[in-house]
Amino acid sequence: MKPTTENEILNRYFDLVIQEGLYSTKKRLKFYLDYLFEKTNFDNKQMLDIGAGRGMFSFYAACKGAKIVSIEPEAEGSTPDSTKKFKKIQSALGLNEVIQLEKTTFQNYNSSNKKFDIILLHGAINHLDETACINLQHDNNAIEKYNKIFEKIYNLANKRAELIITDCSKYNFFAKLNITNPFDPNIEWHKHQPPEYWSKLLLDPGFVNPKIRYTTPPMLYSIGKLLLSNKIASYFTWSSFCLTMEKK
């Protein structure tokens, strides 16, 4: 039987996401989504998901009432076979009409004058141009490349649009010592930038009201949020953050 209410649709979403191996447990995913989208209203909104991967956040937003454009080039930095998995879950959830998958880079995306109320870059901001990201703090050409990218994002945003960015900061205790981070041994720290730097760049095109939150491992739930969701604790763990801004 096809789900009809929002609760039924969301339950189907959580079941599929866990079944397809996109997240570890339903409880942890619910906790993380509540954190990530703590003040986001999806009802009748237009959302752009840049670097959508297998679509976990696009599907959630669609189940909550948004219409989505998901950009996933399946290039460097993206998840292998993302498109195949994306379309499988999209079809199973009956979201073919509300999610548009664009298999291209953000730089090559043509919006056809479409504007968005929510723009998400989940673990994707450094992949927009990895070489430029590495050199941002000492190369004017790299800065100019990201300025153009952020100007395009700004122009795609409706007034008061919400911009949500997640990533990890390059400033980390284990990275400084040049040793493997036990919380995430695969992070290439030199390919990232701190949230304060991103927010500074995003002020230029006109985004305002930066808010930085620090992410704790979802398995720690509320106790982790209470004790570890601060800059100091983040520095000694995995330096993961969520930056939100809005278009003035």
The three-class DSSP label of residue 114 is coil
pLDDT digits (tens, 9 = 90+) for 15-74: 999 999 999 999 999 999 999 999 999 999 999 999 999 999 999 999 999 999 999 987
Q: Residue 62 half-sphere exposure, CB side, CA atoms within 13 Å?
A: 26
Delimit the domains of the chain by residue range: 6-247
pLDDT of residue 222: 81
Name the amino acid, one letter, at 49: D
pLDDT of residue 224: 79
Residue 7 exposed, middle or buried by CB count within 10 Å (0-12, 13-18, 19+): exposed
**Buried/exposed code over 129-145 (b: 16+ C-beta within 10 A; e: otherwise):** beebbbbbeeeeebbeb
Cβ within 8 Å of residue 236, ≥6 positions away: 173
pLDDT digits (tens, 9 = 90+) for 177-191: 999 999 889 999 999
Q: Please, are residues 171 and 235 in contact by the beta-carbon 8 Å criterion?
A: yes
Torsion angle of alpha carbons 75, 40, 85, 132, nearest 10°? 10
> Is residue 76 scored above 50 in pLDDT?
no
Cβ within 8 Å of residue 47, ≥6 positions away: 58, 61, 66, 67, 68, 69, 116, 117, 118, 119, 120
Structure-block tokens of residue 211? 């808010």
pLDDT of residue 225: 81
Q: Please, are residues 23 and 14 in contact by the beta-carbon 8 Å criterion?
A: no
pTM of the predicted model, to two decimals?
0.94
Domain 6-247 matching CATH 3.40.50.150: the answer reads yes
pLDDT of residue 6: 80
Element (H, E) at 142: helix 140-156
Average pLDDT, the chain: 93
pLDDT digits (tens, 9 = 90+) for 100-156: 999 999 999 998 889 999 999 999 999 999 999 999 999 999 999 999 999 999 999
pLDDT of residue 79: 56
* Residues β-bridged to residue 129: none
CA distance 147 to 151: 6
- The DSSP call for residue 83 is H
> DSSP per residue over 123-138, as a string?
S-GGGGSHHHHHHGGG
CA distance 135 to 191: 9
pLDDT digits (tens, 9 = 90+) for 157-214: 999 999 999 999 999 999 999 999 998 899 999 999 999 999 999 999 999 999 999 9
pLDDT of residue 88: 93
**R_g over Cα of the chain:** 18
